[in-house]
Amino acid sequence: MLKVIGCALLILSGSAAGWYLGEKPVQRHRLLGVLTELVKETSVMLGAYIPTESIMESLRTTERYSALGFLHYDICDAADKQRLLSEVSRLPLESGTADRLRHFFSQLGSSEMEQERTRAELLYTYLKAELERTDKTFRSQRKLCRALGILSGAFAAVMLI
């Protein structure tokens, strides 16, 4: 009886681990979608010649960007800008994407509006392509993680027997 309970617990724990790990690609995909919207909105505001400080303030107050903690730093203050860049580096993204975001935010507010808008549009194009690429893979990664979790739990249960 204890072996059966132990086997069931092993299968359940493997399944839970698989479900947990399967959500990471989904979260990364959602974050990439939000960042794509953020860059597009920034590009539009730069095209309307809105000052950088006003753009950041507007983005801070937008509810869909409330989960992005790095927006709460002042981009004009050097110490806050370093913290903002540090927060962007810690986002759960691929290194190339995080580097491009860091570069964009490090340059934001330092040149003419047209140059900044061009950089924002280029970053938007890159993020949109990255979003389409991850859209194809995140569902299969989630299914794979879940299946491997169940199978690893079942394997451990069989080994217990």
Residue-wise pLDDT tens digits, 56-72: 888 888 888 887 888 88
What pLDDT sits at residue 36? 93
With a cut of 70, list the residues of the chain below it in pLDDT: none
Q: How many Cβ atoms are within 10 Å of 127's Cβ, its own excluded?
A: 23
Q: What is the pLDDT of residue 39?
A: 93
Provide Rg for the chain, Cα atoms. 21
Contact at 8 Å (CB) between 13 and 140?
A: no
What burial class does residue 93 get, using C-beta atoms within 10 Å of its C-beta: 0-12 exposed, 13-18 middle, 19+ buried? Answer: buried
For position 113, what pLDDT does the model report? Answer: 81
Phi, psi (5° rounding) for residue 77? -85, 130
Q: What is the per-residue pLDDT for 125?
A: 94
pLDDT of residue 84: 82
Q: Output phi, psi for 90, to 5 deg.
A: -85, 0
Question: How many structural domains are present in the chain?
Answer: 1
Residue 135's domain comprises 2-160
* Closest listed residue to residue 8, CA positions, set 156, 123, 136: 156
3-class state of residue 65 by DSSP? helix
Q: What is the full DSSP assignment across 129-152?
A: HHHHHHHHHHHHHHHHHHHHHHHH
Q: How many CB atoms lie within 10 A of CB 158?
A: 11
